[in-house]
Structure formats: structure tokens, C-alpha cells
């Protein structure tokens, strides 16, 4: 899940903060920590979280300092929080439009924390054969006659 248009827009800021690390997952968000509407961008590398709001970096967090990240749903909005060595931290606030994206972000960060994250190349399934009618993966060809 990458927002390539926003990555390009904020590439200079992101590269400076993430020291050239690959962005593993990113999304936009639309609420400030005070609950007002804003333009925001959230990016995660294997070591850091970078939060940009209205073109300025508002948070850089080292993932190693976090114990667990979780997404909480409220009436009409949600938040991404982390239990850290220094206490609970608010990482992002967003409207319900982004709840699914931030649930995935939380899962990815927790996998990184646990050492279980496996990077999947988004083009890995590019050449996979699919059914032209329904789009599901096509059944593999039958084995040769001698192996049936």
C-alpha cells in the first residue's frame, strides 16, 4: 500500500528523515492531533515512522522504541497509537475513510517490531495467470499423464 504521488511530493523530506531507507508502507490522513482537518502523510520504513502534516515533519519515531502499535476506532474517527518505552504515543488521527489503511499500517509496524516482517514485491504476482471472466487465479495445469 503506497501513495506514490505523495511520496514524490514529499520525497525530499522523507529521504532526509529516513536516511534513504525504502518506504515499506505509506498512506495519507486527514485530521491533526487536535482533530482539525489537515493534509497529512504517514510513511514507515524498516526502522522509522515519519509523519508529515501540511508539508512539515511533525513526528519521527524509531520503531525500536515501540512495544506495540494499535488502531482505535471512535465515533467518526480513529487514532493510531503506540505503547513506547516513554509511555503511550499518538502517531496519527484520521477520519473513518482511512481506518482500513491504518489497521494495515499497525499490523506492518507490529510485524517489524516482532521481527516477522517479510517484504513482498508488489509485482510478484504480475505474471500470475488469472481467469479472464472472474479475475481469480487460474487453476494450475494438470500434471503430465505419467504423474496422475
Contact of 36 with 53, CB cutoff 8 Å: no
Residues facing residue 42 across a β-bridge: 27, 51
Q: Taking 80 as the threshold, does the pLDDT of residue 74 lie above it?
A: yes
pTM score over 0.85: no
Lowest mean pLDDT across 84-93, 97-106, 121-130: 121-130
For the cut 70, the answer to whether the pLDDT of residue 67 exceeds it is: yes
Cell numbers describing residue 92: 496519527
Confidence of residue 71 (pLDDT cuts 50, 70, 90): very high
pLDDT for 119 equals: 63
Q: Can you give the pLDDT at residue 121?
A: 46
**Distance (Å, rounded) from C-alpha 16 to C-alpha 7?**
13
CB 95 within 8 A of CB 76: yes
Q: CA-based angle 56:84:90, to the nearest 5?
A: 40
pLDDT digits (tens, 9 = 90+) for 6-24: 667 777 788 788 888 888 9
- Give the span between the Cα atoms of 39 and 31, in whole angstroms: 7
pLDDT band at residue 131 using 50, 70 and 90 as cut-offs = low
Residue 21 confidence (pLDDT) = 86
pLDDT band for position 117 (50/70/90)? confident
Per-residue pLDDT for 78 more than 70? yes
Amino acid at each position: 500500500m503506497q501513495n506514490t504521488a505523495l511520496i514524490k511530493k514529499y520525497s525530499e523530506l522523507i529521504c532526509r528523515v529516513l536516511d534513504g531507507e525504502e518506504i515499506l508502507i505509506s498512506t495519507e490522513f486527514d485530521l491533526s492531533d487536535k482533530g482539525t482537518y489537515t493534509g497529512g502523510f504517514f510513511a514507515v520504513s524498516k526502522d522509522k515512522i515519519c509523519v508529515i502534516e501540511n508539508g512539515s515533519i511533525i513526528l519521527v519515531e524509531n520503531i525500536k522504541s515501540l512495544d506495540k502499535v494499535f488502531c482505535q476506532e471512535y465515533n467518526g474517527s480513529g487514532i493510531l497509537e503506540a505503547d513506547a518505552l516513554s509511555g503511550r504515543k499518538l502517531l496519527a488521527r484520521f477520519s473513518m475513510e482511512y481506518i482500513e489503511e491504518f489497521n494495515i499500517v499497525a499490523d506492518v509496524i507490529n510485524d517489524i517490531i516482532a521481527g516477522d516482517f517479510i517484504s513482498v514485491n508488489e509485482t510478484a504476482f504480475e505474471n500470475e495467470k488469472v481467469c479472464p471472466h472472474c479475475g481469480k487465479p487460474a487453476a494450475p495445469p494438470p500434471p503430465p499423464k505419467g504423474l496422475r
